[in-house]
Amino acid sequence: MTNGRPERIALRGDLLDFTADPGWGAPRPDHPGLRWRPDHWLLVQGGRIVGCECAAALTPGPDWHCVDHRGRLILPGFVDTHVHSPQLDVIASYGSELLDWLNTYTFPAEQRFADPAVAEAGAQTFVDALLRHGITAAVVFPTVHAVSVDTLFAAAQARGMRLIAGKVLMDRHAPAGLCDGDVASTEALSRALIARWHGRGRLAYALTVRFAPTSTPAQLAMAGRLLAEVPDLYLQTHVAENRAEVAWVAELFPAARSYLSVYEQAGLLGPRSVLAHGIWLDEADRRLLAERGAQIAHSPSSNLFLGSGLLDWPALEAAGVRVSIATDVGGGTSLSLQRTLSDAYKIQALRGVRLTAWKALYAATRGAAEALQLGAEIGSFDPGCSADLAVWRWAEGPVALHRDRLVRDLHERLFAWITLADERNLERVYVAGQVR
């Protein structure tokens, strides 16, 4: 026992994870990247996965604390690669495209996070909401306020979560209450936050450029200097989400070849760069992303809700770009990764491509982890990984239960689960082997 908790835990259920990208095409049941182990024990010691065994062949001994989740789906915890913590306040807000939506809903909500009490309450609500949706790791935008960063990191650390976040950088084209001061003072504040949180436990700092229009060239250059200077920092921002936004960037940066090249010129593209959306990119942009190792955090629910456009996911991957899945919130309409993946399926269907359940779940687990260079820690049931996982009921409610009884194979069952399930199907979440 450690602090009153069992050191060795055995969880019984239907284990599903991935060893490789299933790719596009028909959902082959024998795909080598798919790892399906029904009715197995997942063995956890000291918060890390140490193996798994078929339940019919092994019963763990008395030195294991056994938890029977028989008949339940056990997945690695979801990894949300782009989400805004203060935007729970404006989720499901009516009727606006991106730029109007920011001014009408988002910026007023974010200004309230200057109040420490609001920031504290918001952080607690947000991280608990992630866990209640089976999300155990996330890349998060708080606000420009240092207190929003401190409270968010502290809340995640108290729950043992893997979290990547950082102070939002904006010094123009935003309300005064959300604009940074001079670049030197913003750099000093960013350095202090990095020193306080980066690499502390399971936390990592991301230089967080809101998007190119809200940062001066001097602020972008400062972020690029920090990214080059401090080891293992992440960079998160938005790119090419909306056509009006793309046109605005072209006006603000007339010398840049494209929206993406604004970030390239500032030194912001690298293997730890997470760029949300990326809908309106051209072939040269895709090549540049692949060369730099940056990823696109696809936010399908947000793209549909704000009418931003339909991502060409296969084209990005054909160019060598990693694509992960993100809820966005509040442009997205839910923290549910099942609903988000269901929307991703619809977007690809509109483009004439079919997203399989294998590919969808890979993108929300191992694929996201590997894109973040965290594949040795999260996203799968490989031995040595943190025991971050979620236990799900296969069906909830009469319609889903009826559908589940009629499925013919595993892919059909999983696809129906993605389409019909949500946070109400969640039975339990473990973070580093602890029930959360």
Q: What is the pLDDT of residues 327-376, one digit of tens each?
A: 999 888 999 999 999 999 999 999 999 999 999 999 999 999 999 999 99
Asked if residue 67 lies in contact with residue 11, where contact means CB atoms within 8 angstroms, the answer is yes
Q: What is the pLDDT of residues 372-397, one digit of tens each?
A: 999 999 999 999 999 999 999 999 99
Q: What is the pLDDT of residues 130-156, one digit of tens each?
A: 999 999 999 999 999 999 999 999 999
- Among 311, 335, 359, the domain-final residue is 335
Kindly state the tokens that stand for 375: 């594949």
Q: What per-residue confidence (pLDDT) applies to 5?
A: 65
- Among 279, 304, 335, the domain-final residue is 335
Same domain, residue pair 105 and 18: no
Same domain, residue pair 72 and 83: no
Inside any domain, residue 357: no
Inside any domain, residue 361: no
Inside any domain, residue 355: no
Burial track 283-312 (b if 16+ CB lie within 10 A, e otherwise) = eebbebbbebbbbbbbbbbbbbbbebbebb
* Reported pTM: 0.96
Rounded distance between C-alpha atoms, residue 43 and residue 57, angstroms: 14
Inside any domain, residue 364: no
Kindly state the tokens that stand for 27: 């959902």
> What's the rounded mean pLDDT across residues 88-113?
85
Kindly state the tokens that stand for 74: 């056990």
Considering its fold, how many domains does the chain have in total?
A: 2
Inside any domain, residue 304: yes
Same domain, residue pair 54 and 82: no
Q: What is the pLDDT of residues 182-219, one digit of tens each?
A: 999 999 999 999 999 999 999 999 999 999 999 999 99
Rounded distance between C-alpha atoms, residue 169 and residue 224, angstroms: 12
Same domain, residue pair 290 and 234: yes
Same domain, residue pair 32 and 181: no
Inside any domain, residue 342: no
Same domain, residue pair 329 and 300: yes
Q: What per-residue confidence (pLDDT) applies to 3?
A: 58
Q: What range does the domain containing 403 cover? A: 8-76+380-435
Asked if residue 170 lies in contact with residue 214, where contact means CB atoms within 8 angstroms, the answer is yes
Q: CB-based contacts of 180: which residues, under 8 Å, 6+ apart?
A: 144, 169, 170, 171, 186, 219
Q: What is the pLDDT of residues 248-284, one digit of tens each?
A: 999 999 999 999 999 999 999 999 999 999 999 999 9
Calculate what percentage of the chain has a pLDDT beyond 70.
99
Neighbours of 318 (CB within 10 A): 12
Asked if residue 358 lies in contact with residue 364, where contact means CB atoms within 8 angstroms, the answer is no
